[in-house]
Amino acid sequence: MKEPDESAAAQGDSVESGCPIKMGGFGSGLRCGRKIHVAPDGVDEKPVCLMHSKDPRKQSGPLFDAFMLEFERILENAGEKVARFERFVFPQLIFSGRKFQAICIFNSVTFTQRAVFNNAIFTQRANFGAATFTKGADFNLATFTQGANFVRATFTQDSIFLRATFTQLTFFNDAIFTQRAIFDEATFT
């Protein structure tokens, strides 16, 4: 096994040789294509990039740094357009007070640690369809200005939407809350 590579999130030479995970909507044909990450044996079912890997080593150190650099690059390149994070496996990230200006697509992502979005502002649509929040979710005081989608999302620990503001259509259809879901003083306009 090779040592972690800080550039593990870099774009591969070609889509065929890179990460095979499908991105985009149904029938889009888009594949991730990022450079394959060398994870410990048995971590991933098939070779995938750092962003899609379940490698627990990305919770800190060079792999965490590489993950964050790629995440920030995606947001920066998207500007106010679409930032795609489909099927990413997120380490512990704290987005407290973060302003997301892109349309954020977090479809089918897994948050391996508590997802902290308290005081975050989503200026465009935020799509968390089929996302899995394994250690809880904190959207306390978060603002969703253009709608939010949590359809089929799974919240396995406490989920806090205390004083969150939803100003457009918001969907929680078929969402699963296995512990407390706190929506006290949330505003749906």
Measured between alpha carbons, how far is 53 from 68 in angstroms, rounded to an integer?
Answer: 14
Question: Domain ends where: 21, 56, 78?
Answer: 78
Would the pTM of this model clear 0.75, i.e. be above it? yes
What count of Cα atoms within 13 Å lies in the side-chain half-sphere of residue 142? Answer: 27
Question: Domain ends where: 45, 78, 111?
Answer: 78
Q: Tens of pLDDT along 14-52?
A: 435 799 999 876 666 789 999 999 999 999 999 999 999
71 lies in the same domain as 129: no
Measured between alpha carbons, how far is 105 from 122 in angstroms, rounded to an integer?
Answer: 11
pLDDT band at 72 (very low <50, low <70, confident <90, very high): very high
Joined tokens for residue 177: 């809350």
Measured between alpha carbons, how far is 144 from 150 in angstroms, rounded to an integer?
Answer: 12
Question: Domain ends where: 50, 78, 106?
Answer: 78
The residue among 151, 111, 100, 95 whose CA lies nearest residue 127 is: 151
Count of structural domains, the chain: 2
Q: Are 19 and 34 in contact (CB under 8 A)?
A: yes
101 lies in the same domain as 55: no
Q: Supply the range of the domain harboring residue 128.
A: 81-189
Strands 99-100 and 121-122: parallel
143 lies in the same domain as 104: yes
109 lies in the same domain as 179: yes
Q: Tens of pLDDT along 143-176?
A: 999 999 999 999 999 999 999 999 999 999 999 9
62 lies in the same domain as 95: no
Strands 22-23 and 30-31: antiparallel
88 lies in the same domain as 74: no
126 lies in the same domain as 157: yes
Residue type, 4: P
72 lies in the same domain as 87: no
143 lies in the same domain as 181: yes
- Please, which residues have CB within 8 angstroms of residue 81's CB and are 6 or more apart in sequence? 102, 103
